[in-house]
Amino acid sequence: MSPDPPALRAIGLTKEFRGFRAVDGVDLAVAAGSVHALVGPNGAGKTTLFNLLTGFLPQTAGRIEVAGVDVTGLAPEGFAGRGVARSFQITSLFGQLTALEHVELALQSGSSLGWKFWRSAKLMRRYTPRAMELLDMVGLADLAGTTADALAYGRKRALELALALALDPSVLLLDEPTAGMGLEDVDRTVALIAAIRTGRTVVMVEHNMSVVGALADRVTVLQAGKVLVEGPYDEVRADDRVITAYLGEGAVRAAH
């Protein structure tokens, strides 16, 4: 029996911005059921790769597969339709809607992308039980009636996760899930991701190495648009090439 194809795979993926290669021939295979972190110094191409892997940017060259199926060139809706979802950006929350209403809308639209139409409160109520479950999962049950505007930063990020989970994706992509958080929220988010990874594949861009160490099965380090190193966290963090990429030559000498 052949092994399962990667949940998400990039082959020679390349993105040029006016001739500048932000992502340059990246090969990436994210094993089904794994948590895979994308790391690298500023400007390495993480966000661009993330956008390519969710259909938010068209690639210049290369191929993307979801569970072995070619999805190259599909729009974000096409990726979502194949079970690939990304966490929402805070800016896309509607300040005056409650946390519960946000999740109900996400459930109703069936897609993190379709906020276009509005339904009656009565129709929405059919989604309330599942929406409450999702809010409970991310620790927001007590804040279901709070408007997004009134949620603290860490709670907004938790709401973003609930919205992504509303799609029940098989592959969940998280863009810096702990960025800007205090320690307590970071710990809470790590525990949450550890809980929601069950039964799915998670790809995350993350700067915080202790978060990567706590969650990631494998780590891909990008530098100047290319894969510098790929492997388990402990191997990657001890790799001289990675230390140099982050801290410069002197840091490698200091580390030995």
Ligand X SMILES: Nc1ncnc2c1ncn2[C@@H]1O[C@H](COP(=O)(O)OP(=O)(O)OP(=O)(O)O)[C@@H](O)[C@H]1O
Pair 27, 12: CB distance under 8 Å: yes
Pair 13, 45: CB distance under 8 Å: no
What is the tally of helices (H) and strands (E) in the chain? 11, 10
Binding mask 1-20 for ligand X (x = CB under 6 A): ----------------x--x
Q: Say how far apart CA 100 and CA 213 lie, in whole Å.
A: 32
Using CB under 6 A as the binding rule, whether residue 169 contacts ligand X is answered as: no
For 117-208, where are the E strands, in sequence order? 171-175, 201-205
CB nearer to ligand X: give 169 or 225: 225
Mark the segment that binds ligand X (CB under 6 A) among 6-14, 36-44, 183-191, 213-221. Answer: 36-44
CB nearer to ligand X: give 28 or 103: 28
Residue labelled with tokens 């020679």:
12
Using CB under 6 A as the binding rule, whether residue 94 contacts ligand X is answered as: no
Q: Which of 10, 22, 134, 158 binds ligand X (CB under 6 A)?
A: 22
Using CB under 6 A as the binding rule, whether residue 43 contacts ligand X is answered as: yes
Using CB under 6 A as the binding rule, whether residue 44 contacts ligand X is answered as: yes
Element (H, E) at 125: none
Q: Which residues pair with 223 in a beta bridge?
A: 226
CB nearer to ligand X: give 130 or 226: 226
For residue 130 the two structure tokens come to 């599942």
CB nearer to ligand X: give 162 or 181: 181
Identify the CA nearest to 14 among candidates 2, 3, 22: 22
Q: Which of 6, 45, 62, 76 binds ligand X (CB under 6 A)?
A: 45
For residue 75 the two structure tokens come to 């729009």
Binding mask 46-85 for ligand X (x = CB under 6 A): xxx-------------------------------------
Could you list the residues that contact ligand X (CB under 6 A)? 17, 20, 22, 40, 42-48
